[in-house]
Amino acid sequence: MVEGLVGMDAPFAPDDAEAERLRLERPAVDVVWNDAKGRPWNLTVPPTVYPPREDTDLLARALLNLGPGAGRTAFEVGVGSGALLLQMAADGWAVSGCDVHPYAVAATRSMLTDQGHDSHVREGDLRDLDNEALERADLILWNTPYLPPVSVDEAHLG
């Protein structure tokens, strides 16, 4: 299953571990991201963490259509840099999420805390969560840039 999702024959080739170690030694990058309301946010994006990109901006604009959070809860699968959770928290949502990447979890927790928001971000994927975390969310979001496009011949949502 993993191979099909990431387009690999095997999870790791012989030289991949060393290449990953070298990637992790790169410094974090400071990024200014303007959310869908035009608010600039200073984000520190650690190496190998998904930074805000065009797909992030598209989803951020779509989230505005939901209106202010007004106490509603949102759970993000794959928090990456935390940009979407930050926008939602600033708009009154109670936010939480998960990511398999420990650097993404640490960066998102730190950024939300620095901005004065509660931080409920866990390391792991959906299989690591109790159902309650998802059941109590009013909104579950998942930006899926790493998933291959769905063939029109396959069953799919949307």
User: What residue segments make up the domains of the chain, in order of their start?
Assistant: 2-141
Separation between Cα atoms, residue 59 and residue 36, nearest integer Å: 9
The fold for domain 2-141 equals: Rossmann fold (3.40.50)
Whether the per-residue pLDDT at 3 is higher than 50: the answer is: no
Of the pLDDT bands very low, low, confident and very high (cuts 50, 70, 90), residue 23 is confident
Separation between Cα atoms, residue 72 and residue 16, nearest integer Å: 42
Least confident range of 11-15, 22-26, 131-135: 11-15
Q: What is the pTM of this model?
A: 0.79
Determine how many CB atoms are found less than 10 A away from the CB of residue 30: 9
Q: Once rounded to an integer, what is the mean pLDDT over residues 143-148?
A: 70
Vertex 74: Cα angle to 108 and 151 (nearest 5): 90
Angle of helix 102-114 relative to helix 83-90, nearest 10 degrees, comes to 30
Helix (H) or strand (E) holding 98: strand 94-99
Of the pLDDT bands very low, low, confident and very high (cuts 50, 70, 90), residue 2 is very low
Q: Which residues contact 71 (CB under 8 A, 6 or more apart)?
A: 92, 94
